[in-house]
Structure formats: structure tokens, C-alpha cells
Amino acid sequence: SFSQAFREEAVSVGFNSDVGVIIDTSRNGWGGPERPTAAGPTTGTVDAYVEASRTDRRIHQGNWCNQAGAGLGERPTAAPAPGIDAYAWIKPPGESDGSSEAIDNDEGKGFDRMCDPTYEGNPRNLNNPSGALPNAPVSGHWFQAQFEELLANAYPPL
């Protein structure tokens, strides 16, 4: 895996061989009924193959805020593989990444356009839509719709 290869490279450049990796799996399930179950078709273009095979269904990899289609990933587990110390749900499922519109608050939390589902993007995400869920509260607050999305799209399924 990428994480194991990263760990091996870190050890090769001087990190202690006891070092391990913790992977946050709280939003990387990307399951539900649309999850590919096999590699894409080998006929057609490379782009069609990649699109049909990918499990991360974000519109763009740079999109991060309350993503539609996200699901819970692997359950928290200690030492699931060599060099991996744990899978953990570090970001609490159901905690908002940020508000979908400017919301007055006494917490000093601002508004990020990447959390606005109507945002058409910027050069860093190749001017793609944000992919964010609508009606989100400010960051750190409970977001029921996101929680339900994470449960519905969990992989492995709950």
C-alpha cells in the first residue's frame, strides 16, 4: 500500500524502524451502490478505464469540504497490517467541515467557498464544482445530512 511504502521510505532515510502509520478512515469509504466492484473496461480510452475503476468519487481530488458521496471507511482497528499502527476515525463522523454559506457566529469561524455547493471552483481544483453538501453548519458542528451520507456510503458496509 502507499502507506506501507511511505513508511519503508521513511525508515530507509533514518526514521526509527519502530515507526508506524495511523490512517484516518473516517471519510474514505466511498461505497454505496456506486462503488466499483472491479477494474473498468479494458476497451475504450484510458480515461474511461480510470473513471469506471476509481473508488474516490470526488469531482476533484482537491475538493475536501463535506463531500457528497463520501462514506465511512475501515472500522477503527489496531495493527491492521505490517507497519500500520491503526485505522482510526480521527475526524468525527458527522462533524461539519465548514458552512455552505456565510453564517454569523460567535466562534470566529469564517466561510470557505469550497464548502458552498454552488461554487464553480478555482484554478487549484481545475475550476470544478466543490462537490459539497448543501445546508452545512459551521465547522465542528453536528451535520446530520453528512452523517447519514457517511453511513449510507460506508465501505465496508455497516
Residues 6+ apart with CB under 8 A from 13: none
Range of lowest pLDDT (21-30, 43-52, 88-97): 43-52
Of the pLDDT bands very low, low, confident and very high (cuts 50, 70, 90), residue 134 is: very high
**Residue 45: is its pLDDT beyond 80?**
yes
Task: Name the 3-class secondary structure at 146.
Answer: helix
Of the pLDDT bands very low, low, confident and very high (cuts 50, 70, 90), residue 120 is: very high
Phi and psi (nearest 5°) for 103? -130, 125
pLDDT, greater one: 41 or 83:
83
Placement of cell 456506486 in the chain: 34
Q: What is the pTM of this model?
A: 0.84
pLDDT tens, 92-115? 999 999 999 999 999 999 999 999
CATH fold for the domain made of 2-7+19-153: TIM Barrel (3.20.20)
Q: Which residues of 11-30 are buried (b: 16+ CB within 10 A; e: fewer)?
A: eeeeeeeeeebebebbbbbb
**Residue 32: is its pLDDT beyond 80?**
no
Of the pLDDT bands very low, low, confident and very high (cuts 50, 70, 90), residue 80 is: very high
**Residue 122: is its pLDDT beyond 80?**
yes
